Amino acid sequence: MSAPLARLVVVALEQAIAAPFATRQLADLGATVIKVERPEGDFARHYDAHVHGLSSHFVWANRGKQSVVLDLKDEQDRTMFDGLLAGADVFIHNVAPGSAARLGIDVERMVRDNAGLIACELSGYGSGGPRSDDKAYDLLVQAEAGAISVTGGEEMSKVGFSVADISAGMYALSGILAALVRRERTGEGAVVRVSLLDSLVEWMSAPLYGAHFGPGQPPRTGRRHHGIAPYGIFPTRDGGTILLAVQNDREWRRMADVFLGRTELGTDPRYSTNPDRISRVDEVEELVRHRLDQLDRVDAVELLSRAGVATAVVNDLAEVWELPQLRERGRFTTVHTPNGAVEMLVSPFDISDAHVELGPVPALAEQQSALADPPRGWRATSRR
């Protein structure tokens, strides 16, 4: 058994989250990922010091990689960089467009000069257009893409994790993999371009289309679903929090009978269809809330399950870390870092007959000595 991307060599001129997250997936799948860092290192190394003194963002997005330091403005370092590129299958960068130009990073030229190379460029707003050269951090893109406008309740809210960076990283990954499949068939290299804005707007398509072709900007509904009832977050007697979802009228009748203990509400014309329930959503939620005031979280979940109502516990992050559904399926493993071993989630990829071993988180310039002999040091492929 071997890793799916064994012997694939990736050179990554990357920082922060979007590109590092894409290349971490490649590393998880067995690729050799050479992370080229500036002399002071990827600034994400210093976002926080939560994981044994290391940044949680950096540990998450950079396991399994090799780290070298190169100053691309230095002639000797640039020669080393070009040597790495000559032995690479994939090049990826998320340097800002202006900085990339000053460093001579031109993905079109790289593909012309290196037959079969897949070169991926991540940017904030894409090439061309009035904002192509602007800084584009995750929350800025959340704002531009409309994600903040539909998140929250009475007040708008950001999404609670780096959704723009992650969406772009996943599209970079899928674009690279698609280009590699085509290269396997045709021998052709490719330029792959991904922007944070394009990626997140794609994820916003359902509310965007609904607003454009329908009634306009939807209201923010906070803890409840905008178009189905009852579907939302509710407290329980013991201070717990659950989410329950009734998807159709049959489930509502079952919920009224088994959970609410009031069979007549299932066919009550005020609540019998979903449009009826939405029009009286406050009344419907008060019925649910009154019942949950009598139940602890465990009992509420058990009773809702008996009624056939989809239910989830609203876990805090400490509860997620110990979640039985993850623990009993072996979704954690040990990964080594410069400051000691840490427990991490395994890759979501589950490919039959494929052996994937998660590599360590590199110290800055940990593999610098291998630059003296890149082909042997990096296991470069003979893709030409």
**pLDDT at residue 232, rounded to an integer:** 97
Is residue 376 pLDDT above 70, yes or no?
no
Long-range contacts of residues 201-208, Cβ cutoff 8 Å, at least 24 apart: 201/145, 201/146, 202/167, 202/171, 203/147, 203/163, 203/167, 204/145, 204/146, 204/147, 204/150, 207/146, 207/150, 208/146
pLDDT, tens only, 41-65: 999 999 999 999 999 999 999 999 9
Distance CA 23, CA 227 (A): 38
The residues that bridge with 236 in the sheet, in sequence order, are none
For residue 152, give the 3-state DSSP assignment.
Answer: strand
Distance CA 52, CA 363 (A): 13
Tokens representing residue 170 in the block: 């996943």
Is pTM beyond 0.75? Reply is: yes
Task: Tell me what percent of the residues of the chain surpass a pLDDT of 70.
Answer: 97
CATH 3.40.720.10 given to domain 9-205+329-378: no
Give ∠ CA 113-73-8 in degrees, rounded to 5: 45
For residue 41, give the 3-state DSSP assignment.
Answer: coil
Active site residue 225: yes
pLDDT classification of 353: cutoffs 50, 70, 90: confident
The residues that bridge with 118 in the sheet, in sequence order, are 90, 190
The residues that bridge with 32 in the sheet, in sequence order, are 9
Catalytic residue among 52, 225, 226, 336: 225
Mean pLDDT for the stretch of residues 311-326: 96
**pLDDT at residue 375, rounded to an integer:** 52
**pLDDT at residue 374, rounded to an integer:** 62
pLDDT, tens only, 220-271: 999 999 889 999 999 999 999 999 999 999 999 999 999 999 999 999 999 9
Of the listed ranges 94-108, 174-188, 233-247, 301-315, the one predicted with least confidence: 94-108
Question: For the chain, what are the domain ranges?
Answer: 9-205+329-378, 241-313
pLDDT, tens only, 9-40: 999 999 999 999 999 999 999 999 999 999 99
Tokens representing residue 208 in the block: 């965007």
Tokens representing residue 367 in the block: 């593999």
Tokens representing residue 16 in the block: 């922060």
Give the C-alpha distances (Å, rounded to integers) separating 162 from 13, 26, 276.
20, 19, 37
pLDDT, tens only, 86-116: 999 999 999 998 889 999 999 999 999 999 9
CATH numeric code, 241-313: 3.30.1540.10
Helix (H) and strand (E) counts for the chain?
16, 11
Q: Find, among 84, 78, 79, 48, the residue nearest to 66 by Cα.
A: 84
- Answer whether 9-205+329-378 and 241-313 agree in fold: no
pLDDT, tens only, 115-164: 999 999 999 999 889 998 888 999 999 999 999 999 999 999 999 999 99
pLDDT, tens only, 65-76: 999 999 999 999
Tokens representing residue 63 in the block: 């396991």
**pLDDT at residue 18, rounded to an integer:** 97
Q: Find, among 382, 379, 383, 384, the residue nearest to 33 by Cα.
A: 379
Residue bearing the bigger pLDDT, 381 or 213: 213
Distance CA 111, CA 116 (A): 7
In single-letter form, the type of residue at position 383 comes to R
Distance CA 42, CA 57 (A): 11
